[in-house]
């Protein structure tokens, strides 16, 4: 990385000169008596301080080019938060690209991306020149759920901003970090908007779409506000002034595909009930149908006398040019208040050799992914069946040991 970058107009600007000029611009935030050039002044208490700090960071990086990194398999919360960041960054003349390394397969997520007309760039390690970016932004992630992070570190692209609502993870070190125990990252970005980083106008279509997307993100991550915190309710109330209820209903009413229904059927047939836990292995599943796993877990949770559902399978697919990549992927859903999905998954599956947890979670939900590595590849049917039996038994044993139960 060099100290200089070319602007879109071809002008070459030194970073130090840009930062010095950036501090001359005054940005006044709503509900705050301070301005962005008063960094030395005493901090304002409350959430407006975080919005102001973000404004100061964006001002210091005015005119740069940033890459917003979504989790490998983006959900409505990460998609809406990324879109919000893109619009906010534009206020500071920051050019933003959005990328992810995985697939978007859930029917609601596909509908949301099409509605927003988002240009989400699939990460390709061989074709994407990361050195053209001045910095990286992680939304709804701390860098542990994306394979783009390694490429950014290799290219020397610094992490500037991390905004997330999950438990603290050993992720990237960034210039600005905002972690909150709220229902959704969309709630945090709505807070930024309320404090003046972006002024929504009911007559502007992009603002209506943004409000609709953020509302969707909040609703999906809080189970239609059933598990929302006060901050989520306040964010939803604010967004209700601008969102399009008809569009939101259309997104939420997307029908389940046949592969999803087939996965739910396999989960029902294979489930093991133990101590009100429903545990189901669904065998092999193609990468483009990966989102069927959490949907199957949601379905199993609806069974009487079940408070926690765990569904897992071997996901087959390609990524970064690899022809036989496989991972053991699972989702946890719970309605039991005393179960912490993040702690549960970390205790069951532990860490990799590099020290990274194989999974984690938030309130009522969690997920895990364990690379199969050397054993990847289907081979003949007998080999595939044997491999699945080994992994299936290993996962069941770990889960049953964790809950202190035997198969019933």
Residue 119 is part of a domain; what is its CATH number?
3.90.1640.10
211 with 262, same domain: the answer is no
102 with 54, same domain: the answer is yes
Distance between CA atoms of 331 and 228, rounded to whole angstroms? Answer: 20
Mean pLDDT of the chain: 82
Tokens linked to 334 = 């719970």
Coil, helix or strand at residue 64: coil
Residue entry with tokens 């938030």:
362
Among candidate residues 307, 312, 310, 311, the one with its CA nearest the CA of residue 276: 307
pLDDT level of residue 198 (50, 70, 90 thresholds) = very high
DSSP string spanning 14-29? EHHHHHHHHTT---BP
DSSP string spanning 71-100? -SS--HHHHHHHHHHHHHHHTTT-EEEEEE
Domains contained in the chain, number:
2
238 with 266, same domain: the answer is no
Contact 131, 156 (CB under 8 A): yes
Indicate whether 285 belongs to any domain.
Answer: yes
pLDDT level of residue 226 (50, 70, 90 thresholds) = confident
243 with 122, same domain: the answer is yes
Task: Tell me what the mean pLDDT of segment 203-218 comes to.
Answer: 94
Among candidate residues 288, 305, 362, 289, the one with its CA nearest the CA of residue 332: 362
Supply the range of the domain harboring residue 159.
4-251
Cα end-to-end span (Å), the chain: 58
Distance between CA atoms of 386 and 393, rounded to whole angstroms? Answer: 11
Give the CATH number, domain containing residue 387: 3.10.310.30
Distance between CA atoms of 97 and 94, rounded to whole angstroms? Answer: 10
CA 352, chain centre distance (Å): 21
Indicate whether 19 belongs to any domain.
Answer: yes
Residue 202 in this model has a pLDDT that exceeds 60: yes
Could you tell me which residue, 342 or 20, shows the higher pLDDT? 342
What CA–CA distances, in Å, run from 367 to 79, 184, 243, 331, 363?
18, 16, 30, 4, 12
Least confident span in 50-59, 118-127, 222-231: 118-127
Per-residue pLDDT, 24: 30
Per-residue pLDDT, 32: 38
Domain boundary among 206, 231, 251: 251
Domain boundary among 251, 276, 298: 251
Indicate whether 208 belongs to any domain.
Answer: yes
Per-residue pLDDT, 95: 96
Tokens linked to 67 = 């890459």
Task: Tell me what the mean pLDDT of segment 379-389 comes to.
Answer: 83
Could you tell me which residue, 214 or 6, shows the higher pLDDT? 214
Q: What is the pLDDT of residues 25-63, one digit of tens each?
A: 334 344 433 333 333 222 333 458 899 999 999 999 999
Q: What is the pLDDT of residues 234-263, one digit of tens each?
A: 999 999 999 999 888 888 776 777 888 899
Indicate whether 210 belongs to any domain.
Answer: yes
Indicate whether 408 belongs to any domain.
Answer: no
Q: What is the pTM of this model?
A: 0.68
24 with 122, same domain: the answer is yes
Give percent of the chain with pLDDT exceeding 90: 50
153 with 292, same domain: the answer is no
Per-residue pLDDT, 80: 94
């Amino acid at each position: 990385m060099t100290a200089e970058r070319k602007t879109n107009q071809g002008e070459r600007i030194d970073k130090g000169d840009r930062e010095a000029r950036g501090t001359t611009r005054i940005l006044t935030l709503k509900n705050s008596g301070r301005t962005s050039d008063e960094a030395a002044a005493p901090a304002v208490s409350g959430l407006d301080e975080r919005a102001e700090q973000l404004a100061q960071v964006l001002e210091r990086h005015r005119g740069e080019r940033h890459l917003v990194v979504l989790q490998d398999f983006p959900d409505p919360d990460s998609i809406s938060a990324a879109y919000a960041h893109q619009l906010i960054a534009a206020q500071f003349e920051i050019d933003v690209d959005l990328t992810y390394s995985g697939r978007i397969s859930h029917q609601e997520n596909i509908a949301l991306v099409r509605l927003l007309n988002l240009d989400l760039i699939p990460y390709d390690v061989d074709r994407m020149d990361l050195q053209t970016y001045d910095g990286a932004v992680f939304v709804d992630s701390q860098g542990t759920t994306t394979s783009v992070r390694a490429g950014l570190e290799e290219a020397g692209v610094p992490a500037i901003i991390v905004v997330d609502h999950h438990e603290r993870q050993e992720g990237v070190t960034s210039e600005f970090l905002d972690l909150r125990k709220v229902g959704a990252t969309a709630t945090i970005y709505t807070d930024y908007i309320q404090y003046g980083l972006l002024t929504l106008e009911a007559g502007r279509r992009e603002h209506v779409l943004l409000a609709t997307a953020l509302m969707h993100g909040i609703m999906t991550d809080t189970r239609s506000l059933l598990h929302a915190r006060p901050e989520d309710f306040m964010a939803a109330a604010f967004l209700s002034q601008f969102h399009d209820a008809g569009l939101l209903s259309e997104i939420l009413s997307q029908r389940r595909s046949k592969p999803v229904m087939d996965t739910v059927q396999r989960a029902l047939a294979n489930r093991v009930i133990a101590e009100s836990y429903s545990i189901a292995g669904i065998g092999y599943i193609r990468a483009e149908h990966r989102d069927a796993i959490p949907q199957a877990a949601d379905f199993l949770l609806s069974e009487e006398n079940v408070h926690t559902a765990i569904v897992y399978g071997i996901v087959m697919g390609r990524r970064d040019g690899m022809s036989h990549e496989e991972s053991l992927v699972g989702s946890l859903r719970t309605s039991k208040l005393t179960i912490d999905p993040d702690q549960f998954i970390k205790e069951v599956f532990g860490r990799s050799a590099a020290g990274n947890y194989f999974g984690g979670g938030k309130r009522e939900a969690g997920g895990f992914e364990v690379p199969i590595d050397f054993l990847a590849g289907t081979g003949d049917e007998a080999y595939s069946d044997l491999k699945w039996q080994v992994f299936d038994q290993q996962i069941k044993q770990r889960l049953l040991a964790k809950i202190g139960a035997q198969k019933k």
